[in-house]
């Protein structure tokens, strides 16, 4: 009886996690053929630059909707002079095992996605079953660079609270492209522009609301930082988000419509749109001194991004009941040894399947005996331990 109770407590205390069990690659990037089996804990891939570590993470990222962690064009994913590429995976999820296959369909030059050998209508269905989050070196300077990168990150984070967020962003962007085309070629027909501006404003309010909600949910977690960091505070920065914090959704929609109508002349000359959620930004500040995170050292910026991705994983677990798979590419590079050890402890506490890459195994000493280590060399994997 006591043993049964202990088991029940253990099951109740453990958090379900999405995890890859097996992965097969064919003609993908520098992999001719690869079969890999892993358990649901932390996986560390080590190897020289160009060995294929990031390619493997990219393959896993393609099991989620979208263009993967490099945002690559489909044809780039085929191995040189070979292809089309095919990826097959078995995942364990809170709802049981999932068999997923994806690859380039050469007859339509688009990505096919199959679930248990059944073609899915679109990639977006994949997002219903499990999540994949990532941090890659190209995001290192995101806090100090142009707003577009932070906005893209914010919209990815918003998927944790609003699964339809990507669809709304796509609808908004399409309406904006149409408005630009009417301003350019449609002789500025006012009735047509009014309809398109309404079509922009409706999803814009929903987009801004999801951004505000996810920022609030992440802030609650970032106040108790890991990695020996000062607390950071996120804030939406954009006129539509600002209006929405002051007035009702209907009034915000109306105000954006009016602003767009007033800026038609300038937008016709400059292209794009002067107003809207495509101009918003994500402010990241050190909470106590309100100093922008972009002024922090490269290593501390990396730690801030890591804290954000881990907070997102916790948020997703809270909302969906399942921790996403985390792909952390070269995250140890800019961290000192104390922060690296803190990161390893934080990842173990996160209770997720985490894929880490690095040039040298010694970077992950704190994970020794607590993770699976693989050495990657020219598209081949060998087991370290």
Partner 1 sequence: MAANEIEHLIRLMGRLPGLGPRSARRAALSLMKHPDTLLRPLIEALGTCRDAISICSTCGNLDSHDPCSVCADRDRDRDVVCVVQEVEDLWAMDRSGSYRGLFHILGGTLSALDGRHPEHLRITALLERVEKDGIGEVILALGATVDGQTTAHYLGERLRPLACRVTRLAYGLPVGGELNYLDQGTLDAAMKARQLLA
Point out which residues bind partner 1 (CB under 8 A).
171, 174, 177-179, 181-182, 185-186, 189, 191-192, 194-196, 198-199
Using the minimum distance from each CB to partner 1, give the nearer residue, 154 or 201. 201
DSSP state of 139: G
Distances (CA, A) of 385 to 302, 305, 351, 371: 29, 30, 21, 9
Six token digits for residue 130: 């499990």
Using the minimum distance from each CB to partner 1, give the nearer residue, 121 or 289. 121
CB atoms within 10 A of CB 47: 22
In sequence order, what E strands does 109-262 have? 110-115, 118-119, 132-135, 232-237
In sequence order, what E strands does the chain have? 19-28, 31-37, 42-46, 86-93, 96-105, 110-115, 118-119, 132-135, 232-237, 281-286, 291-292, 325-328, 354-358, 371-377, 380-383
Distances (CA, A) of 34 to 31, 129, 370: 7, 25, 24
Using the minimum distance from each CB to partner 1, give the nearer residue, 35 or 119. 119
**Which residue in the block uniquely carries the two structure tokens 């996403």?**
324
Alpha helices, DSSP H only, in 88-189? 147-158, 165-185
DSSP state of 15: P
Using the minimum distance from each CB to partner 1, give the nearer residue, 71 or 194. 194
Rounded to the nearest whole angstrom, what is the least distance from the CB of residue 238 to partner 1 in the complex?
25
Whole-number Å distance between alpha carbons of 311 and 320 = 14
Helix, coil or strand: residue 297? coil
Using the minimum distance from each CB to partner 1, give the nearer residue, 181 or 338. 181
Rounded to the nearest whole angstrom, what is the least distance from the CB of residue 192 to partner 1 in the complex?
6
CB atoms within 10 A of CB 351: 18
Rounded to the nearest whole angstrom, what is the least distance from the CB of residue 120 to partner 1 in the complex?
15
Six token digits for residue 11: 């099951």
Using the minimum distance from each CB to partner 1, give the nearer residue, 82 or 181. 181
Rounded to the nearest whole angstrom, what is the least distance from the CB of residue 213 to partner 1 in the complex?
19
Rounded to the nearest whole angstrom, what is the least distance from the CB of residue 108 to partner 1 in the complex?
15
**Which residue in the block uniquely carries the two structure tokens 């969906």?**
320
Rounded to the nearest whole angstrom, what is the least distance from the CB of residue 263 to partner 1 in the complex?
17
Rg (alpha carbons) of the chain, rounded to whole number: 22
Six token digits for residue 57: 């993470």
Rounded to the nearest whole angstrom, what is the least distance from the CB of residue 38 to partner 1 in the complex?
35
Helix, coil or strand: residue 332? coil
**Which residue in the block uniquely carries the two structure tokens 């000493």?**
365
Rounded to the nearest whole angstrom, what is the least distance from the CB of residue 209 to partner 1 in the complex?
16
Rounded to the nearest whole angstrom, what is the least distance from the CB of residue 175 to partner 1 in the complex?
8
Using the minimum distance from each CB to partner 1, give the nearer residue, 110 or 194. 194
Using the minimum distance from each CB to partner 1, give the nearer residue, 27 or 253. 253
CA angle 229–363–222, rounded 5-degree value: 20
Using the minimum distance from each CB to partner 1, give the nearer residue, 5 or 269. 269
């Amino acid at each position: 009886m006591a043993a049964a109770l202990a088991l029940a407590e253990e099951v109740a205390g453990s958090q379900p996690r999405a995890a890859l069990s097996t992965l097969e690659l064919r003609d993908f990037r520098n992999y001719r053929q690869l079969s890999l089996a892993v358990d649901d804990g932390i996986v560390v891939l080590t190897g020289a630059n160009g060995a294929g570590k990031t390619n493997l993470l990219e393959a896993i990222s393609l099991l989620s909707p979208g263009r993967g962690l490099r945002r690559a064009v489909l044809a780039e994913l085929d191995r040189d002079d070979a292809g089309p590429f095919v990826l097959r995976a078995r995942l364990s999820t809170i709802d049981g095992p999932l068999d997923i296959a994806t690859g380039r369909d050469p007859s339509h030059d688009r990505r096919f996605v199959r679930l248990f050998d059944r073609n899915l209508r679109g990639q977006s269905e994949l997002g219903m079953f499990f999540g994949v989050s990532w941090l890659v070196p190209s995001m290192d300077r995101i806090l100090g660079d142009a707003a577009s990168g932070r906005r893209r990150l914010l919209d990815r984070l918003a998927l944790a609270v609003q699964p339809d967020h990507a669809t709304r962003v796509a609808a908004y962007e399409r309406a904006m492209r149409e408005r630009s085309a009417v301003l350019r070629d449609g002789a500025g027909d006012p009735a047509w522009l009014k309809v398109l501006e309404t079509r922009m404003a409706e999803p814009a309010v929903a987009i801004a609301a999801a951004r505000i909600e996810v920022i609030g949910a992440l802030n609650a977690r970032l106040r108790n930082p890991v990695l020996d960091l000062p607390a950071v505070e996120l804030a939406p920065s954009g006129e539509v988000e600002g209006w929405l914090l002051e007035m009702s959704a209907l009034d915000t929609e109306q105000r954006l419509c009016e602003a767009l109508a007033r800026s038609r002349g300038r937008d016709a000359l400059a292209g794009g749109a002067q107003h809207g959620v495509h101009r918003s930004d994500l402010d990241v500040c050190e909470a106590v001194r309100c100093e922008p995170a972009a002024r922090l050292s490269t290593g501390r910026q990396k730690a801030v991004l890591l804290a954000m991705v881990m907070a997102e994983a916790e948020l997703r677990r809270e909302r969906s009941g399942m921790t996403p798979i985390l792909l952390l590419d070269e995250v140890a590079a800019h961290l000192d040894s104390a922060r690296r050890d803190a990161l390893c402890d934080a990842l173990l506490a996160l209770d997720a399947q985490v894929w880490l890459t690095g040039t040298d195994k010694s970077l992950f000493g704190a994970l020794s005996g607590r993770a699976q280590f693989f050495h990657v060399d020219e598209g081949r994997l060998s087991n370290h331990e």
